[in-house]
């Protein structure tokens, strides 16, 4: 159905108003519902479908997000931005083949430059480096001056060990005067080149300038992310104060829920080794891996705290009824089913998500039988790894733009776990695993964690990189898990101690 110009303008303004309110209050569920109602009237507007897709993903309504992505592609099949948004959503939902098909369709249009870059990115992320280089070469041959093509070619060349070629692609894209978002991408990659060349001073200079460019490129997004981050840190401060051993032990002593399979949470600060351990565990045929989806958090918030966009309070959980707690568990399984993740009779659900680390106390109320695996690593190596990671700013990573903020985020998140650990005491439902131990003897320590989940070690786990070679890795650390396990990153912070003192001085 075609829309009249007047209705088109009216609906477009409504779309903008919804997203403007969301930027102010960060209440994704309310924004998603408003956008869903608008989409029922204005299904022909690509912007409405794109925003509905984004908002539905934010609240883990995966079916709605996937449907919006399909409609967006139908409305704008030859628009690179639309294909990019839909392909990214398919990838997030664990459908890399569908993402690839979206780019392949675009390749047949005049917008094939964007398609080649999208296909190169997919192949690079999956570790198919020769294929990635082929797609990248097509894009570069078609337009040698295109900055995105040069950055992608530089990234692939770096990963393949062709450092001089990588630098030749990246350096022109990092020059002053280049748009800040493009310049930031090039500078982050150049920082990695300097790191490989054992030049920490130049690496830090590149990363610092990249972060400055990120703030220039996304000022409103950074402002919103910092506002949400400040609330999260304040909430964590209250949480550490309010947590008591009596409450946690009382919740844990409740009869185990019979309406859900066993669930293991794999958490810890980002860049602590969660993705490496996840890949080994996920190779077990009885482990159902939920890779960095917020389904459990959304089920908790939208069922028990729908009117608290700022976040729940731990004291409010005391009066939750048994039926409402059962509703959280039911809603969690509903959200997993949208992803095709249906546990079998012998399945153990592995829900790996570093973002759950400071949410764990809340999850123990509706999920009293949760088993907790927390990855630990020298915080100085963690912070260095976060600092050099190129990510679009959001509340969970905006702290990495500033050294002092990165330290504050680490302390805030891990103080919640350490207080919860004290409250749990010597019960057997939690364990910590050190990244350094995994690097030195992966199979032994991964086998210990496997037994902790209630399963026995499976031969497929010994060849986890072959077993999971086609598995999509949602984490930004996807590059690291495609390479052999090594000890080279242990203690790496020491090379940067003189260049990033504010990042390390808090820790001994």
The pTM assigned to this predicted structure is 0.93
Q: So what's the pLDDT on residue 147? A: 96
Q: So what's the pLDDT on residue 237? A: 95
Six token digits for residue 418: 């350490």
Q: So what's the pLDDT on residue 254? A: 82
Q: What domains, with CATH codes, occur in the chain?
A: 230-291+346-504 (3.40.50.300)
- 196-234 confidence digits (pLDDT tens): 999 999 999 999 999 999 999 999 999 999 999 999 999
Task: Count each helix (H run) and each strand (E run) in the chain, helices first.
Answer: 26, 5
Write out the H or E segment, with its range, that includes residue 337. Answer: helix 322-338
What is the spatial distance between Cα 326 and Cα 344, in angstroms, rounded to a whole number?
A: 20
Plot region of 349 (φ>0 → left; ψ -120 to 50 → alpha; else → beta): beta
Neighbours of 133 (CB within 10 A): 20
What is the spatial distance between Cα 278 and Cα 353, in angstroms, rounded to a whole number?
A: 10
Residues in the chain: 508
What is the spatial distance between Cα 381 and Cα 272, in angstroms, rounded to a whole number?
A: 9
Q: So what's the pLDDT on residue 130? A: 95
Starting at the edge strand that comes first in sequence, how are the strands of the sheet with 430-434 ordered? 287-291, 348-352, 263-267, 371-376, 430-434
Quote the DSSP letter at residue 109: S
Strand partners, 434: 376
Low-confidence ranges of the chain (pLDDT < 50): none
Return the residue matching tokens 């009066």: 319
What is the spatial distance between Cα 455 and Cα 397, in angstroms, rounded to a whole number?
A: 34
- 433-458 confidence digits (pLDDT tens): 999 999 999 999 999 999 999 999 99
What is the spatial distance between Cα 146 and Cα 456, in angstroms, rounded to a whole number?
A: 52
């Amino acid at each position: 159905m075609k829309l009249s110009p007047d209705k088109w303008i009216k609906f477009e303004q409504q779309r903008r108003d919804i997203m403007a309110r969301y930027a102010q209050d960060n209440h994704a569920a309310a924004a998603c519902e408003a956008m869903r109602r608008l989409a029922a009237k204005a299904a022909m507007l690509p912007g409405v479908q794109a925003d509905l897709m984004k908002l539905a993903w934010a609240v883990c309504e995966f079916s709605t997000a996937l449907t919006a992505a399909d409609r967006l592609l139908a409305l704008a099949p030859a628009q690179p931005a639309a294909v990019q948004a839909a392909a990214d959503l398919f990838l997030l939902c664990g459908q890399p083949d569908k993402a690839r098909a979206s780019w392949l369709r675009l390749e047949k249009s005049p917008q094939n430059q964007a398609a080649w870059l999208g296909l190169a990115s997919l192949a690079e992320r999956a570790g198919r480096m020769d294929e990635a280089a082929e797609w990248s070469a097509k894009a570069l041959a078609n337009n040698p001056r295109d900055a995105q093509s040069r950055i992608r070619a530089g990234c692939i060349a770096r990963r393949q060990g062709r450092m001089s070629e990588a630098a030749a692609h990246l350096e022109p894209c990092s020059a002053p005067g280049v748009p800040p978002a493009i310049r930031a991408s090039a500078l982050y990659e150049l920082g990695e080149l300097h790191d490989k060349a054992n030049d920490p001073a130049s690496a830090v200079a590149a990363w610092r300038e990249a972060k400055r460019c990120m703030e220039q490129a996304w000022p409103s997004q950074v402002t919103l992310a910092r506002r949400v981050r400040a609330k999260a840190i304040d909430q964590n401060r209250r949480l550490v104060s309010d947590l008591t051993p009596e409450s946690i032990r009382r919740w844990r002593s409740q009869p185990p829920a019979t309406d859900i399979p066993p669930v293991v949470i794999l958490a810890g600060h980002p860049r602590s080794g969660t993705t490496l351990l996840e890949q080994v565990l996920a190779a077990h045929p009885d482990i159902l891996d939920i890779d960095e989806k917020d389904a459990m958090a959304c089920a908790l918030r939208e069922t028990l705290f729908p009117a608290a966009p700022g976040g729940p309070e731990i004291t409010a959980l005391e009066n939750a009824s048994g039926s409402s707690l059962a509703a959280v568990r039911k809603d969690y399984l509903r959200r997993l089913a949208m992803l095709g993740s249906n546990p079998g009779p012998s399945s153990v659900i592995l829900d790996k998500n570093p973002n759950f680390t400071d949410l764990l106390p809340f999850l123990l109320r509706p999920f009293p039988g949760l088993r907790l695996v927390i990855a630990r690593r020298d915080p100085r190596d963690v912070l260095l790894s976060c600092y050099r990671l190129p990510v679009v700013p959001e509340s969970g990573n905006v702290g990495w733009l500033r050294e002092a903020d990165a330290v504050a985020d680490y302390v805030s998140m891990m103080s919640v776990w350490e207080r919860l650990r004290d409250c749990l005491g010597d019960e057997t439902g939690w364990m910590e695993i050190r990244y350094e131990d995994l690097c030195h003897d992966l199979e032994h320590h991964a086998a210990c964690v496997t037994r902790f989940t209630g399963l026995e070690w499976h031969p497929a786990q010994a060849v986890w990189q072959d077993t999971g070679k086609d598995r999509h890795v949602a984490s930004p650390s996807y590059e690291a898990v495609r390479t052999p396990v090594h000890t080279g990153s242990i203690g790496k912070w020491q090379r940067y101690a003189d260049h990033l003192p504010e990042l390390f001085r808090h820790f001994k």
